Amino acid sequence: MSPCRVLYVINGFNKGGAEIGLQTMLEHGFLRGCDVRVIGLHEGAPELRAAIGRLVGPENLVLASDGPKLTLAGLWRGFRTLRATLRTFRPHTVVLSLRQTNIVGRLALLDHRAIRCIAFEHIAKLEAGRLTTLYAALLWLLSPRVDEVWADCRVTLEGRGAIIAVVPGSGWCPCSSRMRRHRARRSTGSARPRGS
């Protein structure tokens, strides 16, 4: 039986909570035993990118664009990179971290229904800004493509209703023992992601 293939997609490698959280989870054995590939829509901080590259292997870290900031062109390149990776890597599960990645990833996964889509939420509500209304509408419209929601804490999970429709199987803190127990109690079949 081949190992589970997981594609983890993140905006970039800035030194923020979601990005450092990915590094911490990998250092503590998150996804151990799986083939893991990470796509960053842009580079961000080169030292964090290098640290994550050491954890997953440099051949398993893909940058869609090498700029320090996420741009509209970077989102387009990210969409194309993700579509190509879905064809070549053929993941069982895709984890989408942060809102721009969730929009791009959900769009890319629309015609890949057999791949499990996990939205990893890091904020309970969108911050006010120029694109807040557009982001909220797109996230809500694309939420039927999400199979499961993870959150970095209970407050985030409970506050996510404004940006995602209710998803069966939602959980919090994928690296916590509490969630593992919660998911194990609810599991009725194989632990392998759907489509494997």
Q: What are phi and psi of 34, to 5 degrees?
A: -105, 150
The tokens for 80 are 């194309």
For the stretch 169-187, pLDDT in tens is 444 334 333 333 333 333 3
Q: Which residues share a beta bridge with 72?
A: none
Secondary structure of residue 118 in the 3-state scheme: strand
196 residues of the chain, pLDDT tens digit each: 568 999 999 988 887 778 888 888 899 988 888 999 999 998 888 888 999 999 999 999 999 988 888 888 989 999 999 999 999 999 999 999 888 899 999 999 999 999 999 988 765 555 656 777 887 788 888 888 999 887 766 655 565 554 444 444 444 334 333 333 333 333 333 333 444 3
Tokens of 193: 């992601």
- pLDDT tens-place string over residues 24-53: 889 998 888 899 999 999 888 888 899 999
Cα dihedral value 156, 159, 163, 169, nearest 10: 70
Quick one: 179 exposed, middle or buried, by C-beta within 10 A (0-12, 13-18, 19+)?
middle
**pTM summary value:** 0.77
Q: Using CA atoms, how far apart are residues 127 and 153, in angstroms rounded to an integer?
A: 17
Long-range contacts of 65-69 (CB under 8 A, 24+ apart): 65/41, 66/42, 67/42, 67/43, 68/42, 68/43, 68/44, 69/12, 69/42
